[in-house]
Amino acid sequence: MRDKDRAVIFDCATSIAVVITEQCDALVEMCDYIDERVMISRRISSFESNADDNFHDLGFFFLENKLMSDPDAFLLFEIVRKLEAITDGYEEVANSLVRYNITESGESLQECATALYGASQLAYEMLINIRDKAPSSLIIRDLNTLDKFKTKYCKFYDEAILELFTEPHDPIEIIKTKAIYDAFKDIFEAYESLTENCYRYILSYL
């Protein structure tokens, strides 16, 4: 893989990472102004569409330059693919809040959005460190920290689902609430997949 190929791939990766932070900002805004959820969800979908375009352009770049057979380039491509999957997850959370007509933003919802905000900021910084070939100890520290977001959310998820099916709730509310929690869980799992691919790339040049 040539240096200029690597630069193109990381330009795409960082641009999608910026999209993720924009989506997250909008999601936090949606939780603060839940009555405007339809308008904000459209903005989040627009961000996701931009990420799709960037990823598709990268795919064509790989085909034109026959990079899929390059192991290092392919590892980077997988990182970008995981980033694009995260943008899909944000769009699904936003659409779920609209689809299930969530009209109140409780403390739990805001905590989930805040946790994702922290993960999005860290993921962007981590990519910059990988691009700039920062010390591996620094990158691995970031990866371990990013993994902890998913671990913490899973603990919250298990407790929330237990409460949902233990305490008396309206069946419709159970369906709606679980769907929202599941959509958030999918994003944290996507971040976990991202860290796994980043680990593989880091190990390839250590």
What is the overall mean pLDDT for the chain? Answer: 92
* 172 pLDDT more than 70: yes
Tell which phi-psi region holds residue 133, choosing left (phi > 0), alpha (psi between -120 and 50) or beta.
left
List own/partner pairs for 126-132 with CB under 8 A and 24 or more apart: 126/198, 127/10, 127/13, 127/14, 127/17, 127/79, 128/14, 130/10, 130/198, 130/201, 130/202, 131/10, 131/13, 131/14
Contact 28, 114 (CB under 8 A): yes
Lookup: tokens for 108: 């739990």
Rounded percentage of the chain residues whose pLDDT exceeds 70? 99
Lookup: tokens for 8: 């193109």
pLDDT for the residue 107: 80
Model pTM score: 0.93
Lookup: tokens for 125: 């910084």
* 205 pLDDT more than 80: no
Query: CATH number for the 3-205 domain, one of 1.20.58.220, 1.20.1730.10, 3.40.50.10310, 1.10.357.140?
Result: 1.20.58.220
What's the average model confidence in pLDDT over 61-85?
94
Domain ranges of the chain: 3-205
pLDDT for the residue 206: 58
Tokens 């899909």, located at residue: 88
pLDDT in tens, 122-151: 999 999 999 999 998 899 999 999 988 889
